Amino acid sequence: MNLHDTHFHLDLCSDITKMVAQIEREKIYTIAVTNLPDLFHHTKNFIRNTKYIRPSLGFHPELAASHIGQLGKFIALAREAKYIGEIGLDNFKKQSDDYQSQKKIFQAILECCAIHGGKVLSIHSRRAEAEVIAMVGKNYPGSPILHWYSGSIKNLEQALDNGFLFSINYAMTQSTNGKSIVKALPLAHILLESDGPFTRLGDEEGWPGHAKAVVEQIASIKGLSVSEVSTNLIINFKKLVS
């Protein structure tokens, strides 16, 4: 089974060297997201000799207010980064000034990436789904992916109409809301993610190898064969990165 992971925090793993070797051995195409611009080159240098891992330039919304001074660095680095993430908005128990800082940074990132074009964006949208979808808009000149989406079906449908993709992790396939989201998504708009190490499967820290279990869960939820789901999702991923 060909596997991929569009959202994995490699730099936050307990043993990065071991994890890199494991991903390469298992031949899992992996996008290593980062949470701040300062971490991009660190990750890029760490995986420079790998075949299956690519670095992603990120600015996590929950770090926006405290690190707004790094926006200039993000914009400077955006030219060299094909993959952008983790970025977005988070309005879960946030103060108004914090959220406004997030929106300022997210808007600047969207404008910068639109100028360059062709970027793959992994977007956080907790309790801010409608605003994220509206800010990205329709026919964005890149590939926006809603990572671990947890919003309404109405907003999901708007995102689909706008051309968004959705990355699904194992935890999503275990919740009632997550299952509803998977059911509502056309197979052509689904990608895989682990969001490791923030997720777990049993006693194991989340990592790209859990993609096989996610494929199996998606197949079960949608009443399709594992083979059909696996084949379609690798096609989606290849289109994304081509």
Binding residues for a divalent metal cation: 7, 9, 86, 124, 147, 195
6, amino acid identity: T
Can you tell me whether residue 202 is helix, strand or coil? coil
Q: Are 34 and 58 in contact (CB under 8 A)?
A: yes
* C-alpha dihedral (124, 177, 212, 159), degrees to nearest 10: -50
Written as six digits, the tokens of 61 are 């919304």
**Strand 165-168 and strand 190-192: pairing?**
parallel
Q: Known binding site: residues?
A: 7, 9, 86, 124, 147, 195
Between CA 71 and CA 87 the distance in angstroms is: 12
**119-124 β-sheet, strand order:** 4-8, 29-32, 53-57, 83-88, 119-124, 142-147, 165-168, 190-192
Phi (first) and psi of residue 7, to 5 degrees: -155, 90
